A and B are shown apart, each in its own frame.
Chain A
Amino acid sequence: MSACNTCKDTEKTGVLHIKKAVKRFGGKTVVNVEDIRIGTHCIEGLIGPNGAGKSTLINLMTQKLSLTEGEIIYYRGDEAINVSSKNLNTLAKLNLVRSNQIIQDFASLTIVDSMILANTDLRHEKFYKLFNDKEVREAAQEKIDFYLDYFHFDFPEGHALSAGEKKLLDIIRCLILNPKFLLLDEPTAGLPQDQSDKVIDLLQKKTAEEDMCVLIVEHNLDLIWRVCDYIHFMADGQILIQGTPDEIKGNETVNKKYIGEESNA
């Protein structure tokens, strides 16, 4: 398949082990995952129908929501970190980073300032001088230049205000944080083909060259088939099927519950 099995060094990027994880809202069970590992391949996909529980699972893995039952352990090197008992800051320090499905607003910051903020460890900087401090800016300059050029932002000193601009900026901010384990919730929804191709190329390059692995939630199946080394199929809160793109593509359950006739033809 891909070069992934050889390039992947899970010692450095870590693996998330989800064990008997249950999330209920009121009486409704939204996530019910028996036993899976995420992060054993460079780029993995999490797909499934609307309402399957994908975003909720990501929220559980990143402490945006707490588990009703079960546990999620992040194994990296000799460490075993119980994610379910850590707060968001601790997770960020572990370089476990996520993007957001719902478009985030950074309307009060310019595109460049948003990048500077992402590149800065706020505990060491005085907030008021953050955006006009020469050192802070210089530290981020190389990355800023790269991303502005790569994604062709027309007005970098302006604000990201269209839906797609905001979406892209969210992904860039995630990447600037130097994630080892990156969770992306619908990163290309609302991006035109050429921009989503660029996002994907960049993820492939980074996972190949750096210690980074990615989990992508997406409904854009062309993209999922193309880039994922391994796929988890979720429906009704459960992980029903796991496998390589070729294994998932022809699967009857996946077709019936998720893809439908037309797109499959």
Chain B
Amino acid sequence: MLKIENVVSGYGEVSVLQDISFEVGHEVFAILGANGAGKTTLMKTIAKAIPLMSGSMSFEGEDIAGETSYEVAARGIAFVPQEHNVFPTLTVLENLSVGSTLLDKARKNEKIEEVLNTFPALKAISKQKAGSLSGGEAQMVAVGRALMQEPKLLLLDEPSAGLSPLYVDMLFSKIADIHKEHKVSVLVAEQNAVKTLRVANKALILTLGKIHMIEDADKLDESVIKEGYNI
């Protein structure tokens, strides 16, 4: 559903990603790599938070290389950034509502219910301003907002960071669930490789802005991953 060919991107004049090509089907696709390898840059490129320097990108067969972040969101690509991922002056509920502007009221309420059941800790703080949330609570809101969009492709940049063990498990089972039940494709960058590879079908390892390897998740073990991280 997502096809990326010879993509180069980065910040200002500096290119970080070099010649990236891969395809994501209806699957859970893991992006792994050391700090600074380019995982976030790749996510931002797909979500159009930074411009493409060259290469091509298509979603469901249509060219999206020249589109804005709003346009790709409207196509069904939801993005949970690694940093600054909530609106601090809006409440938890308002943050969730921002994700659902395309839904009718009944559907929206259903979705809010669903998100609150996915992350029960949010129930008691639903009227609190997101800027005063704990690290983990804010992370739940950010993921929750993306779920509100009923996306076709979900881009998650380190979604488990800051979550308690209980909630890390809930997050990964939710990922597995929306993939199975709702046919959502998921692209997830994670340092928690072990838990990610349990729900992922495929993984891509980035090294210094280049693809080190793309492999079926069940063929990746610790030693293979380490190799990718150390180069």
For B19, list chain A residues within 8 Å (CB): none
For B132, list chain A residues within 8 Å (CB): 25
| Cα distance, A262 to B172, chains bound together (Å) | 11
Contact for B136 among A51, A162, A262, CB less than 8 A: A51
Q: Does A102 contact B (CB under 8 A)?
A: yes
Contact for B34 among A163, A186, A192, A219, CB less than 8 A: A192
Contacts between chains A and B (CB distance < 8 A), count: 93
- The answer to whether residues A165 and B35 also contact, given A49-B121, A50-B134, A50-B136 and a CB cut-off of 8 A, is yes
Q: Does A189 contact B (CB under 8 A)?
A: yes
Q: Does B166 contact A (CB under 8 A)?
A: yes
Interface band, chain A = 20 to 34
| Cα distance, A52 to B163, chains bound together (Å) | 12
Contact B162–A186 (Cβ < 8 Å): yes
Interface band, chain B = 20 to 34
Q: What's the nearest-Cβ distance from chain B to residue A118, in Å? A: 19
Q: Does A252 contact B (CB under 8 A)?
A: no
Contact A49–B135 (Cβ < 8 Å): no
For B140, list chain A residues within 8 Å (CB): 50
Q: Does B61 contact A (CB under 8 A)?
A: no
Q: Does A194 contact B (CB under 8 A)?
A: yes
Contact for A51 among B36, B121, B208, B226, CB less than 8 A: B121
For A186, list chain B residues within 8 Å (CB): 135, 162
For B165, list chain A residues within 8 Å (CB): 219, 221, 258-260, 263
Contact A102–B166 (Cβ < 8 Å): no
Interface string of A164-200 (1 = CB under 8 A from B): 1101100000000000000000100111111100000
For B170, list chain A residues within 8 Å (CB): 260
Contact A263–B169 (Cβ < 8 Å): yes
Contact A50–B135 (Cβ < 8 Å): yes
| Cα distance, A51 to B119, chains bound together (Å) | 13
Interface centre among B135, B162, B168, B193, by most chain A C-beta atoms within 10 angstroms, is: B135
Contact residues of B between 124 and 140, Cβ < 8 Å to A: 125, 132-137, 140
Q: Does B102 contact A (CB under 8 A)?
A: no
Contact A260–B162 (Cβ < 8 Å): no
Contact B121–A163 (Cβ < 8 Å): no
Q: Does B181 contact A (CB under 8 A)?
A: no
For B109, list chain A residues within 8 Å (CB): none
Q: Does A101 contact B (CB under 8 A)?
A: yes
Q: Does B191 contact A (CB under 8 A)?
A: yes
For A49, list chain B residues within 8 Å (CB): 121, 136, 164, 166
Besides A55-B134, A263-B169, 7 more A-B contacts (Cβ < 8 Å) are: A49-B166, A50-B134, A162-B40, A164-B36, A219-B136, A258-B164, A260-B165
Interchain Cβ contacts under 8 Å between A and B, 6 examples = A50-B167, A154-B36, A163-B82, A167-B35, A190-B82, A192-B229
Chain A residues with CB under 8 Å of chain B are 25, 48-52, 55, 101-103, 154, 161-165, 167-168, 186, 189-195, 219, 221, 258-260, 262-263
Q: What are the 7 A-B residue pairs with the smallest beta carbon separation, nearest first?
A: A164-B35, A50-B136, A260-B166, A162-B36, A263-B165, A262-B169, A189-B161
Chain B residues with CB under 8 Å of chain A are 11, 34-36, 40, 82-83, 121, 125, 132-137, 140, 158, 161-170, 191, 193, 208, 226, 229-230
